[in-house]
Structure 1
Amino acid sequence: MRIIHTSDWHLGQHFYGKTRLNEHQQFLTWLVDLVQQEQVDAVIVAGDIFDTGAPPSYARELFNRCVIALKQVGCQLVLLGGNHDSVAMLTESRQILTFIDTALIPAATHDYQSHIIELTDKNDAVSAIVGAIPFIRARDVVTSSAGQTGDQKKQQLQQAISDYYANIYQCAQQRQQALREQGTEVPIILTGHLTTVNSQTSESVRDLYIGTLDAFPADGFPPADYIALGHIHRAQKVGGTEHIRYSGSPIPLSFDELNKAKTVNLVEFDMGQLHQVTPIEVPLFQPMKVIKGEMAHIKEQLEVLARNAQADACSTQDSDQPTWLDIEVVASDFISDIQTQLQQLTRELHVEVLLSRRAKVNREHGLNENNKESLHELSVQEVFARRLQLESDYLSEKEQDPDPQLDKYMRVKNMFTEITQSIELANKNSNDAS
Structure 2
Amino acid sequence: MRILHSSDWHLGQHFMGKTRQAEHQAFLAWLIEQVQAQQVDAVLVAGDIFDTGAPPSYARELYNHFIVELRQTGAELLVLGGNHDSVAMLGESKTLLAQLNTRVIPGVCAQLSEQVLVLHTRDGQPGAILCAIPFIRPRDVLHSQAGESAQDKQLGLQTAIQQHYQQLYALAESKRDELGGQLPIIATGHLTTVGASASESVREIYVGSLEAFPTSAFPPAAYIALGHIHRPQKVGGLEHIRYCGSPIPLSFDEAKQQKEVLLVDLNSEGLQQITSLPVPRFQPLVSLRGSLTELHSAIVDAASKGTLDKPVWLEVLVTADDYLSDLQPRIQAFTEGLSVEVLRIRRERGTAVAGLSSASRETLDELSVTDVFAQRLVSETLEPELQARLSGLYQQVVAELTQEQA
Normalising by the smaller structure, the TM-score range is 0.7 to 0.9
- Post-superposition shift, 1:24? 0.2
Q: How does 1:182-221 map to 2 (within 5 A)?
A: 185-209=182-206, 212-221=209-218
The whole-number CA distance in structure 1 between the counterparts of 2:19 and 2:323 is 34
Match of 2:235 in 1: 238
The whole-number CA distance in structure 2 between the counterparts of 1:151 and 1:353 is 44
Q: In the alignment, is residue 261 of structure 1 matched against residue 258 of structure 2? A: yes
Match of 1:134 in 2: 134
Checking the alignment, whether the CA contact within 8 Å between 2:249 and 2:257 is kept in structure 1 is no
Query: Any unmatched runs of 5+ in structure 1?
Result: 364-389, 414-434
1:243 match: secondary structure: strand
Q: In the alignment, is residue 175 of structure 1 matched against residue 164 of structure 2? A: no
The whole-number CA distance in structure 2 between the counterparts of 1:85 and 1:48 is 6
Match of 2:37 in 1: 37
Match of 1:252 in 2: 249
Distance change in 2, residues 1:330/1:84 (3 Å):
same
Query: One-letter code of the match for 1:349?
Result: L
The whole-number CA distance in structure 2 between the counterparts of 1:201 and 1:3 is 24
Out of 226, 230, 255, the position equivalent to 1:229 is 226
Match of 1:111 in 2: 111
Query: One-letter code of the match for 1:322?
Result: P
Query: One-letter code of the match for 2:30?
Result: W
Checking the alignment, whether the CA contact within 8 Å between 2:7 and 2:48 is kept in structure 1 is yes
Distance change in 2, residues 1:93/1:211 (3 Å):
farther
Distance change in 2, residues 1:128/1:211 (3 Å):
farther
Match of 1:340 in 2: 329
Checking the alignment, whether the CA contact within 8 Å between 1:12 and 1:51 is kept in structure 2 is yes
Distance change in 2, residues 1:251/1:2 (3 Å):
same
The whole-number CA distance in structure 2 between the counterparts of 1:128 and 1:319 is 47
Match of 2:73 in 1: 73
TM-score (norm 1): 0.81
Between the two proteins, the alignment pairs up a number of residues equal to 368
Match of 2:274 in 1: 277
Match of 2:383 in 1: none
- Post-superposition shift, 1:303? 2.5
The whole-number CA distance in structure 2 between the counterparts of 1:333 and 1:104 is 49
Q: In the alignment, is residue 86 of structure 1 matched against residue 86 of structure 2? A: yes
- Post-superposition shift, 1:344? 0.9
The whole-number CA distance in structure 2 between the counterparts of 1:234 and 1:21 is 21
- Post-superposition shift, 1:333? 6.5
The whole-number CA distance in structure 2 between the counterparts of 1:226 and 1:211 is 29
Query: One-letter code of the match for 1:208?
Result: I
- Post-superposition shift, 1:336? 1.1
Query: One-letter code of the match for 2:313?
Result: W
The whole-number CA distance in structure 2 between the counterparts of 1:274 and 1:51 is 31
Pair member with larger Rg: 1
- Post-superposition shift, 1:231? 0.5
Match of 2:146 in 1: 146
Q: In the alignment, is residue 60 of structure 1 matched against residue 57 of structure 2? A: no
Percent sequence identity over aligned pairs: 50
Match of 1:391 in 2: 351
Match of 1:378 in 2: none
TM-score (norm 2): 0.86
The whole-number CA distance in structure 1 between the counterparts of 2:84 and 2:133 is 15
Q: Which aligned runs of 4 or more in structure 1 are off by greater than 6 angstroms?
A: none
Query: One-letter code of the match for 2:290?
Result: G
2:117 match: secondary structure: strand
Match of 2:293 in 1: 296
The whole-number CA distance in structure 1 between the counterparts of 2:63 and 2:5 is 17
Checking the alignment, whether the CA contact within 8 Å between 1:118 and 1:130 is kept in structure 2 is yes
Q: In the alignment, is residue 331 of structure 1 matched against residue 332 of structure 2? A: no
- Post-superposition shift, 1:113? 0.6
The whole-number CA distance in structure 1 between the counterparts of 2:25 and 2:175 is 37
1:340 match: secondary structure: helix
Match of 2:341 in 1: 352
Checking the alignment, whether the CA contact within 8 Å between 2:286 and 2:302 is kept in structure 1 is no
2:239 match: secondary structure: coil
- Post-superposition shift, 1:319? 4.9
Checking the alignment, whether the CA contact within 8 Å between 1:328 and 1:356 is kept in structure 2 is yes
Checking the alignment, whether the CA contact within 8 Å between 1:138 and 1:211 is kept in structure 2 is no
Residues 82-122 of structure 1, C-alpha deviations (whole Å, 9 max, x = no match): 11001111111010011111110011124111001111112
